[in-house]
A and B are shown apart, each in its own frame.
Chain A
Amino acid sequence: MVHVLVVTEVQETLPSRNTLEVLGAARSLANATQGAVSTVVLSAPVEGLASALFDGGADEVIWVEHPLLVTPEPEATVAALTQVVPQVGAHVVLLADDSAARDVAPCLAYRLQAGLVTEVTAVQAEGEAVVFRRPTYGGRCLAEMVATRFPVVGTVKLRSMEPAPERGARPGQERRISVRLDESHVRTRVVQRVAEEVRGVKLENARVVVSGGRGLKGPEPFLQLQDLAQALKGAVGATRAATDAGWVPVSWQVGQTGKTVSPELYIAVGISGAIQHLAGMGGSKTIVAINTDPDAPIFKVAHLGVVADFKTLLPPFTARVRTLTEA
């Protein structure tokens, strides 16, 4: 009987895609063990959110309201959750493995004296234990981690779980838990938020991603990729080599320390295919590699490959794509 607590992210008034994925994982785990899924939302009740969460697989929505949680610093989140989790009595606490979780999950696990697994790609119950799978060695391997003591905190790798199948209007309960928080809990302070300009589709949601790597040799060629991405109604990504060199913003990075994407189509241009990059896009349905080096590791994971110089291949390809999509 595993009780799973899912920490919820809200986008506008709906649960985010990340949360729905986590809920899906939580739901299967709960179903397999005749358990239950609670979700905690760190805000005042939002109209319609609860039913969306129930549809997503939650049995219970817990509202935690506090002024310090309005634009939450990770420390406030941790302090709040540290009080909520024991009250809920969950065995497994799941969060989406996003940028907030990097600070929240470890500190939460520490304070709960709980175990911690990050980047979980699969979770299932085995008797009294819960088994998590996660990538390791840069994505070359998959490790199986077994939790026999609880609670345990897990962060779920984005785009590796499926949201729960829709079941129409589901019943669920709501309640509120109050927490004690004050300034002393929050030592860090966000002074400024700078959002990179995103034109068109957001990388993490794009159906098509066109990425550039070291082979582009500079920022200007990324314009060609943008043309292609536009024609495909997709987004542009980059490897660590390109963002480290300052050619494109860090937020364009796809990979182990960047974004994880799993689009329908991933076109890797001038990318060698280092394992850390594959960690971020390995789940793409169709991978196309364009590289002048036939030896590049990317060709070992791509479905389609062209050994060519992107500078001469992309213009006719983009033109062809335009004709086909307009037709």
Chain B
Amino acid sequence: MPFRELYWNISAHWLIYPLFLPFAVACLYGCYRVLQVVLVGQPDAGRPPLAAQIRVVADQVLLQRRLLAQPIAGSIHVAISWGFAILFVATCLVAAQDYLGVPTLRGAFYLYFMSLTVDLGGVAAIVGVALALVRRYGARSERLWKPRDQEGYALFLWLLLAILVSGFVVEGLRIAATADPWGLWSPGGWLVAAGFTGLSSAQQALWHRVTWWGHAVLAFGFIGLVPFTLIRHTLAAPANIALRRAAASGVIAPVALEDAEHFGVSTVRGFPRKDLLDLMACTECGRCQDACPAWTTGKPLTPKGLILDLRDHLMAEVAGRSSGKTMVGEAVSEEVLWACTTCGACHQACPVFIEPIPKIVEMRRFLVMEEARFPETMQAALRGMENRGHPYQGAVPSRTAWTEGLNVPVLAEKGTAEYLYWVGCAAAFDERAQKVARAFATILQAAGVDFAILGDEERCTGDVARRIGNEFLFQMHAQANAEALNRYGVKRILTTCPHCFNTLKHEYPEFGGRYQVTHHTEFIARLLRQGQVRLTKSLGQGVAYHDSCYLGRHNRMYAAPRDILSQISGVRAIELDRHGENGFCCGAGGGMMWLEERTGKRVNVERTEEALRIRPDVVGTACPFCLSMFEDGIRAKDATDTLQVLDLAELVVRAM
């Protein structure tokens, strides 16, 4: 009967409890402090249902799906975390035998699980830690070293390694000293044992005892350290993942302004508790930073830096040692806040589901609504929205100017229509984008679709105002638009702009506007599949589709545009390096369309360079902002002869 003697050679093993006690107390106290810190925030709107919590935890904590989006780094983490989980379970099972008499160290279970599986877990963990050390110190992966040069992290890795190695040493010495007949079932320990066969029994026993207690101290020390260091993520991350907000990354929560004492968030206590939990769950992995278009192009904004600065400020505030430092302006500089395009790449990349965007928007709300302190060009755009109902300047006389020669019905005259084509401000007032509206209207007419536009009754959806932080202006526009749409009994809306799409679909129900909103790429793809539009020409061009953040990442719509391309004969679809959910922002979201980038490289130039590298003939877009950014980028790179940018509607019309 295979077995292992419980606590062999360790006569005073009961001492582990008093030894563990102070570390346990420290750990509990630390956890209590973290909870206290998080509870400093505002009560949350609600909690996700239990089923959803369980599902996402199973997905992300057990299967670690997001972590594995980066296969190598993810595997390292799986090896370390699963390895340790197995070791931890094993240790608990030993205690189960000790107190409950459960025969865990006996029989087949002992061999297959407690020996073999546990050993392999330990080996995997060691390999993982070793690779982690290589990644951090050898490869010097940038996301680990910027924006803070944290030498101290190595200590955790070395500590883990010491715990693991000492564990194997203990096992090796026991196997050697007891000439364990089942030693081979613990392959790691068995290999280590080979190194100790030269020692005498007495020496083996002594070293075993020493290492056993050393291993205990290291392990207990590690447990004690957990809540005081980033290792707290082992507890905070699963909690954060379970409590993740249901709303998609592109949706900003509304806020009641009527009787509000303050607008936006200017101190840490103003944040909802979930946002503070975010700060404590951060593992400083930097995947968000790598994905961020602002950081990539040399701006001071990095989501990792933002979260860590906020976390430090939070801890200092709660401990009373922030010495009057303001959160907005000093802990987090205004320049950082105005560099964000709200593209959501950071939300997508974060393995523990931290959300920088709502925090940034709340701080912007403070700057805009409470302090009226924000970039002048954005002020001009918002003034335009207040006075003229749209953020553009220029000479276009009305919202129907683009329809010249096309006979597009206006709802005021037509009375009713099956679909309302929401044109948006860009397609109405930006000369280049007007061509997209014309192309889409042409397609709708060719397909015999019953549609109409609001014309001059349309006002900006307010997406820009909300993202810049002027929630008041957004709400005024949303209310006015919803009223106009409801007055006409509009049920179905088509739009050529992902920002309008996102706002109308997700953010208007709050104001009484509930509509079935379809983006033009989805609609065109459907029309093509159903044969309502016939394509007769072949285009013979290489087309790289650029995923719009507000259509793609925020609304997970990647297929329809590609479907359209596949239905145009002669089109050779090429994928950009960063495509689909890893798409790289064009740089115009979050109000950035109205802000000159003064630091680093312009985001749209970076993306244009990426496009030029794969040498397509055309970049296909589905958003008027992306279109504008590419036009600008192509001009900046002097590539107007080699590269064209066209909306997918324009491509379809060319093939008709």
A→B interface (CB under 8 Å): 217, 272, 292-297, 300, 309
- Chain A's nearest CB lies how many Å from the CB of B237? 45
**Interface majority SS (helix, strand, loop, mixed), chain A:** loop
- Chain B's nearest CB lies how many Å from the CB of A274? 9
Bound CA–CA A300/B395 (angstroms): 10
| B393 within 8 A of partner (CB) | yes
Flag if B431 contacts A294 (CB, 8 Å). Answer: yes
Given contacts A294-B431, A309-B635, contact A217 B396 (CB under 8 A): no
Flag if A296 contacts B596 (CB, 8 Å). Answer: no
Q: Inside 8 A of A300's CB, which chain B residues have their CB? A: 395
Bound CA–CA A189/B128 (angstroms): 82
- Chain A's nearest CB lies how many Å from the CB of B581? 34
Bound CA–CA A327/B431 (angstroms): 42
| B198 within 8 A of partner (CB) | no
Flag if A293 contacts B394 (CB, 8 Å). Answer: yes
Given contacts A217-B596, A272-B393, contact A295 B635 (CB under 8 A): no
Q: Inside 8 A of B393's CB, which chain A residues have their CB? A: 272
**Interface majority SS (helix, strand, loop, mixed), chain B:** loop
Q: Inside 8 A of B396's CB, which chain A residues have their CB? A: 295
Given contacts A217-B596, A309-B635, contact A297 B395 (CB under 8 A): yes
Flag if B394 contacts A295 (CB, 8 Å). Answer: yes
Q: Inside 8 A of A296's CB, which chain B residues have their CB? A: 394-395
Q: Inside 8 A of B395's CB, which chain A residues have their CB? A: 295-297, 300
Interface centre among A292, A293, A300 (most CB of B within 10 A): A293
Flag if A295 contacts B596 (CB, 8 Å). Answer: no
Interface centre among A295, A296, A300 (most CB of B within 10 A): A295
- Chain A's nearest CB lies how many Å from the CB of B570? 31
- Chain A's nearest CB lies how many Å from the CB of B430? 9
Nearest-CB residue, chain A, relative to B396: A295
Q: Inside 8 A of B431's CB, which chain A residues have their CB? A: 293-295
Bound CA–CA A298/B415 (angstroms): 39
Within 8 A of A (CB), among B383-400: 393-396
Q: Inside 8 A of B394's CB, which chain A residues have their CB? A: 272, 293, 295-296
- Chain A's nearest CB lies how many Å from the CB of B598? 10
Q: Inside 8 A of A293's CB, which chain B residues have their CB? A: 394, 431
* Given A293-B431, A295-B394, A297-B395; 13 other pairs, CB 8 A cutoff: A217-B596, A272-B393, A272-B394, A292-B635, A293-B394, A294-B431, A295-B395, A295-B396, A295-B431, A296-B394, A296-B395, A300-B395, A309-B635
Bound CA–CA A286/B395 (angstroms): 22
Nearest-CB residue, chain A, relative to B393: A272
Bound CA–CA A94/B393 (angstroms): 39
Bound CA–CA A294/B431 (angstroms): 9
Closest A-B pairs by Cβ, 10 of them: A295-B431, A297-B395, A295-B395, A295-B394, A294-B431, A296-B395, A217-B596, A295-B396, A309-B635, A272-B393
- Chain B's nearest CB lies how many Å from the CB of A313? 13
Bound CA–CA A295/B394 (angstroms): 7
Q: Inside 8 A of A309's CB, which chain B residues have their CB? A: 635
The interface size of chain B toward A, counting residues with CB under 8 Å, comes to: 7
Bound CA–CA A297/B596 (angstroms): 23
- Chain B's nearest CB lies how many Å from the CB of A138? 15
Bound CA–CA A294/B396 (angstroms): 12
Bound CA–CA A272/B431 (angstroms): 15
9 contacts between A and B (CB under 8 A): A272-B394, A292-B635, A294-B431, A295-B394, A295-B396, A295-B431, A296-B394, A296-B395, A309-B635
Bound CA–CA A294/B635 (angstroms): 15
Bound CA–CA A294/B596 (angstroms): 20
Q: Inside 8 A of A272's CB, which chain B residues have their CB? A: 393-394
Q: Inside 8 A of B596's CB, which chain A residues have their CB? A: 217
- Chain A's nearest CB lies how many Å from the CB of B390? 15
Bound CA–CA A293/B395 (angstroms): 11
Nearest-CB residue, chain A, relative to B434: A295
Bitwise, B79-112 to A at CB < 8 A (1) or not (0) is 0000000000000000000000000000000000
- Chain A's nearest CB lies how many Å from the CB of B393? 7
- Chain A's nearest CB lies how many Å from the CB of B127? 55
- Chain A's nearest CB lies how many Å from the CB of B597? 12
Bound CA–CA A272/B396 (angstroms): 13
Bound CA–CA A315/B129 (angstroms): 59
Bitwise, B584-597 to A at CB < 8 A (1) or not (0) is 00000000000010
Q: Inside 8 A of A292's CB, which chain B residues have their CB? A: 635
Nearest-CB residue, chain B, relative to A297: B395
Bound CA–CA A17/B635 (angstroms): 46
Within 8 A of A (CB), among B596-652: 596, 635
Bound CA–CA A300/B393 (angstroms): 16
Nearest-CB residue, chain B, relative to A309: B635
Nearest-CB residue, chain A, relative to B596: A217
Bound CA–CA A217/B395 (angstroms): 20
Bound CA–CA A206/B556 (angstroms): 60
Nearest-CB residue, chain B, relative to A274: B393
- Chain A's nearest CB lies how many Å from the CB of B634? 13
- Chain B's nearest CB lies how many Å from the CB of A95? 36
Bound CA–CA A116/B395 (angstroms): 34
Bound CA–CA A217/B602 (angstroms): 15
Bitwise, B399-436 to A at CB < 8 A (1) or not (0) is 00000000000000000000000000000000100000
Nearest-CB residue, chain B, relative to A217: B596
- Chain A's nearest CB lies how many Å from the CB of B42? 40
Q: Inside 8 A of B635's CB, which chain A residues have their CB? A: 292, 309
- Chain B's nearest CB lies how many Å from the CB of A202? 32
Bound CA–CA A292/B628 (angstroms): 13
Nearest-CB residue, chain B, relative to A312: B638
Within 8 A of A (CB), among B353-395: 393-395
Bound CA–CA A295/B433 (angstroms): 13
Bound CA–CA A292/B636 (angstroms): 12
- Chain B's nearest CB lies how many Å from the CB of A291? 12
Q: Inside 8 A of A297's CB, which chain B residues have their CB? A: 395
Bound CA–CA A293/B392 (angstroms): 13
- Chain B's nearest CB lies how many Å from the CB of A26? 40
Bound CA–CA A295/B393 (angstroms): 11
Interface centre among B394, B395, B396 (most CB of A within 10 A): B395
Q: Inside 8 A of A217's CB, which chain B residues have their CB? A: 596
Bound CA–CA A250/B635 (angstroms): 33
Bound CA–CA A309/B393 (angstroms): 19
Bound CA–CA A294/B393 (angstroms): 13
Bound CA–CA A217/B596 (angstroms): 9
- Chain B's nearest CB lies how many Å from the CB of A66? 48
Nearest-CB residue, chain B, relative to A298: B395
- Chain A's nearest CB lies how many Å from the CB of B378? 15
Bound CA–CA A300/B394 (angstroms): 13
Bound CA–CA A144/B635 (angstroms): 48
Bound CA–CA A295/B430 (angstroms): 9
Nearest-CB residue, chain B, relative to A300: B395
- Chain A's nearest CB lies how many Å from the CB of B232? 47
- Chain A's nearest CB lies how many Å from the CB of B76? 47
- Chain B's nearest CB lies how many Å from the CB of A212? 17
- Chain B's nearest CB lies how many Å from the CB of A87? 51
- Chain A's nearest CB lies how many Å from the CB of B554? 30
Bound CA–CA A297/B397 (angstroms): 12
Nearest-CB residue, chain B, relative to A296: B395
Bound CA–CA A113/B395 (angstroms): 43
- Chain B's nearest CB lies how many Å from the CB of A208? 27
Bound CA–CA A295/B396 (angstroms): 8
Nearest-CB residue, chain A, relative to B431: A295
- Chain A's nearest CB lies how many Å from the CB of B404? 14
- Chain B's nearest CB lies how many Å from the CB of A242? 14
Bound CA–CA A295/B431 (angstroms): 7
Nearest-CB residue, chain A, relative to B376: A245
Nearest-CB residue, chain B, relative to A245: B376
Bound CA–CA A301/B98 (angstroms): 95
- Chain A's nearest CB lies how many Å from the CB of B364? 24
Bitwise, B187-223 to A at CB < 8 A (1) or not (0) is 0000000000000000000000000000000000000
Within 8 A of A (CB), among B430-481: 431
- Chain B's nearest CB lies how many Å from the CB of A303? 18
Bound CA–CA A292/B634 (angstroms): 14
- Chain B's nearest CB lies how many Å from the CB of A135? 20
